[in-house]
Amino acid sequence: MHILSLVFVVLLCGVTVRAAVPQAPAAQSALATARPRQTAAQPEATDIPAVPSATVSAAATPAPTAYAVNVVSHIEIEDITPPPATPFAPAVTAATVPATAAAATATATTVPATATAAPVTLGQSPAPAATPTWSYQTDTQSVQIVRHEIKNVVYFAVDIRLSDPRQLLSAFSSDRFDGATESVEDIATRNGALLAVNGDFATFNNGGIILRNGNLYRANDSSRHLLVMDAAGDLIPYTEPPENPEEAAAQFIEEGVWQTMVFGPVLVADGEAVPLPEDFFISTGLTTEPRTAIGQIGPLHYLILVVDGRQEGYSQGVSLPRLQELFLMHGVETAFNLDGGGSTTLFFDGKIINRPGNGGQRHVSDILYLLP
């Protein structure tokens, strides 16, 4: 009886799981599939939405508890409501602005938390305790980081708003695409990064189309999923590789693709969870692990989730189905899993702010980052 009631609730609330993400053609219209739905016009070069400063009172107001339906077994899981943020803005000094962005004076500020919505709400309970927020804002970009604690999971939600997609940069270890590795902190510091996370460990194997900062490094066959950041800054996921990677790469360059990531799996497309492949190369998809993943909420509005894990008494990590649920709760249209486990690292304002799961930073081949 309880199972039938839950099925009725799920059907009533319209929770759906996306059937598939179309395959990328070899040469024509390679960027036409699985585009995120956009609800607003593309911002101009300096059109960052105004983000006012805010304060949070000491007395927390009770908020609805978010529950979700597990996308694998369709059963109810525990409370996954993110706690509200307590303002905290560490001092950040203005440095340089990317050449593609207008000059601006940077100031540390407190940014209100992005509104989120859960797929299914089945009850109410007091909101969890507030947690610190780190933030940074200029006329051309804003970054807000909220640390969430949900039972035995700690994760960081990094909300990013840009004025130009070319502000989201990639860098390789030792500035070489040859298999060299360094810590995220070392790569980020050498490149003057404000914010950085581990990427897809592009040199771990020889497969896929690797295009970074508009430059092509590799165009090979791969069984892994592909994420494309096009000239407008839209994240476009593919669950099937192009039939002809060299032709697809040439088209990507012609159309101004800025970044590609070869890892996966694709987690969310068109605002819906994508069924996870059972035979995917990640053997830890259903186990709780540290995770790093990137998503898109709207035009030039991104969300990176960094989940700590493998640390008893602190954070156990999450499975890929649970990672999907977290992204959907935060309202993304697209989400893509990056390298995780011991690689999961979040760098901000000169230091590592998460707790990497191996007792130290794993050396990786590449990062995604923002300049101040």
Residue 220 pLDDT more than 90? yes
Mean pLDDT of the chain: 74
How far apart (Å, rounded) are the C-alpha atoms in residues 250 and 238? 17
CA-atom Rg of the chain in angstroms: 20
Segment 304-361, tens digit of pLDDT: 999 999 999 999 999 999 999 999 999 999 999 999 999 999 999 999 999 998 778 9
Which ranges constitute the DSSP H helices of the chain?
Answer: 2-13, 184-190, 245-254, 320-329
Report whether pLDDT(120) > 80: no
Helices of type H across 240-372:
245-254, 320-329
- For residue 275, the 8-state DSSP code is P
pLDDT for res 241: 86
Residue 218's pLDDT is 97
Query: How far is residue 292's CA from residue 142's CA, in Å, rounded to a whole number?
Result: 20
* Euclidean distance between CA atoms 156 and 161, whole angstroms: 16
Q: Cα 40 vs. chain centroid, distance in angstroms? A: 20
Nearest to 116 by CA among 150, 81, 87, 85: 81
- Report the percent of the chain where pLDDT is more than 90: 58
Rounded to whole angstroms, how far apart are CA atoms 319 and 307?
A: 10
Q: Between these two residues, 136 and 39, which has the higher pLDDT value?
A: 136
Q: Give residue 284's pLDDT band: very low, low, confident or very high (50, 70, 90).
A: low
Only one residue has tokens 């090979």, namely 220
Q: Is the pLDDT of residue 169 over 70?
A: yes
90-119: pLDDT as tens digits:
333 333 333 333 333 333 333 333 333 333
Residue with tokens 């070319």: 166
**What's the pTM?**
0.69
Cross-strand partners of 352: 347
Residues whose CB falls within 8 Å of the CB of residue 199, separated by 6 or more in sequence, listed in order:
170, 261, 338, 339, 364, 365, 366, 367, 368
